[in-house]
Homo-oligomer: A and B are copies of this chain.
Amino acid sequence: MPAPLHEAHPSSPGRRLPDTQQGMRRRNLARVMHTVNAEGPLSRAAVASQIGLTRAAVSTLVDELIRSGLLEELGPERPGRVGRPGSALAVSGRGPAGIGAEIGVDHLAVCAVDLRGAVRARAVRHGTNRRRPPQPVVAELSALVEQVVAKAESEGLWPAGLAVAVPGLVARDARTVVRAPNLDWHDIDLGALLPAELALTVDNEANFGSLAELWLRDDTPLDFLHVSAEIGIGGAVVVDGCLLRGTRGFAGELGHVPVRPEGPACACGGRGCLEQYAGEEAVLRAAGLTPGVDRVDVLAGRAAQGDEEVRRALRDAGTALGIALTGAVNLLDPQAVVLGGALASLAPWLLPSLERELEQRSAGRACAVRVSRLGPEGPLLGAAHSVVRAVLDDPAAVGTRA
């Protein structure tokens, strides 16, 4: 049977547990973890009433989660309540941690996030990775991972897995970078280059960025289209709280949606793709700046200072985004479009023309456009949290540290 295409990541087997007593126990462990995570600290009795199991059944599950280091007891609850005082349960701050990593075009970053969602360690290296071969880049990344893991371990945590965000298309094996044009990488198996002792998940940066929006912002809808831009234009489609992955893992490629079919030729083989109007290079050129020297982040500064050429370039980019998004909104009917990454800081100058286009072209069918508050941090946080979510989704799959 092929892997389901509309699902959490391979690192998250909890999503399709078998329909047996054993599978039910694993799903109930997950329900206890999610409940304590969302509502804790909670007593065993409160957990039982939340998830509709008996107090005895919940106690067995809780004991197992405490033994695995995933839950901890905070000591007896305050007295004065009816019945035997229960001990409040919380998600452990000393158990497994998710290690997130990002291979950016101009930086590398790694962080460790505990089960409570706190960033406990972090390391960054600035410097371009453009057209560098993968081996030295991944060797540098591995050194940063080692550093972050050592820091996490010194605080009593242990790494439950490593998730790496990359600026390119990733195969559904969640290891192979099929194409990362700005790194000039093709068919690179990151699994062969990274330390084997950590369970690995590789994904597109826009995918991890969209998951960060979903998991870390209470007001993110369950159905949205995430659009971000650094060097290229990234997109990700979230449906009912899950990433839409596509047959080969390439879903969400908004940058090559045709905006003007007879427009300028694009490196992808097409003409008039969105990247030809709203990609970094196109916008910098249209604003009279020099791609490769100036970066997208100078645009916000210039626009804020009232630079009319920059503002016009951003207005036109917003129009192109609006045209491409009209098609996407018609196809997907999402609750919202979320602008992330560098687009978030450019929103004041992109949004008016973008929203006008979307409104006029889809009378009554348009959807809200929102601006991400995570910005460029999204992909790294999304990566680390994907490991944490996998632990919450199937606690039984995580052994205690040997």
What separation, in Å, do the CA atoms of A276 and B48 have in the docked complex? 58
CB of A133, distance to nearest CB on chain B (Å): 22
- By beta carbon, the residue of chain B nearest A1 is B222
Given A323-B261, A333-B250, A367-B247: A5 and B223 interface contact (C-beta under 8 Å): yes
What separation, in Å, do the CA atoms of A331 and B251 have in the docked complex? 5
**Residue A56 at the chain B interface, CB threshold 8 Å:** no
**Residue A131 at the chain B interface, CB threshold 8 Å:** no
B261 near A331: Cβ-Cβ < 8 Å: no
Q: Mark A295-328, 1 if CB is under 8 A from B, else 0.
A: 0000000000000000000000000000110111
**Residue A242 at the chain B interface, CB threshold 8 Å:** yes
Name A1-22 residues within 8 Å CB distance of B. 2, 4-7, 19-20
Contacts of A7 in B (CB 8 A): 240
Contacts of A365 in B (CB 8 A): 250, 253, 256, 268
What separation, in Å, do the CA atoms of A52 and B20 have in the docked complex? 9
| Most chain B Cβ neighbours within 10 Å, of A31, A246, A335 | A246
Q: Mark A238-274, 1 if CB is under 8 A from B, else 0.
A: 0110101111111111101111110000001111000
Contacts of A252 in B (CB 8 A): 331
CB of A394, distance to nearest CB on chain B (Å): 14
What separation, in Å, do the CA atoms of A45 and B31 have in the docked complex? 34
What separation, in Å, do the CA atoms of A215 and B327 have in the docked complex? 28
**Residue A362 at the chain B interface, CB threshold 8 Å:** yes
- By beta carbon, the residue of chain B nearest A358 is B270
**Residue A360 at the chain B interface, CB threshold 8 Å:** yes
A251 near B326: Cβ-Cβ < 8 Å: no
- By beta carbon, the residue of chain B nearest A178 is B364
Partner of A330 from the list B256, B334, B335 (CB cut-off 8 Å) is: B256
What 10 pairs across the A-B complex have the smallest Cβ distances? A246-B333, A269-B363, A270-B361, A257-B327, A251-B333, A253-B330, A250-B333, A5-B240, A6-B240, A247-B335
A-B contact pairs, 16 of them (CB 8 A): A2-B222, A5-B239, A221-B247, A237-B331, A239-B239, A239-B244, A247-B333, A247-B334, A256-B361, A257-B327, A258-B327, A260-B261, A268-B361, A269-B363, A270-B363, A331-B332
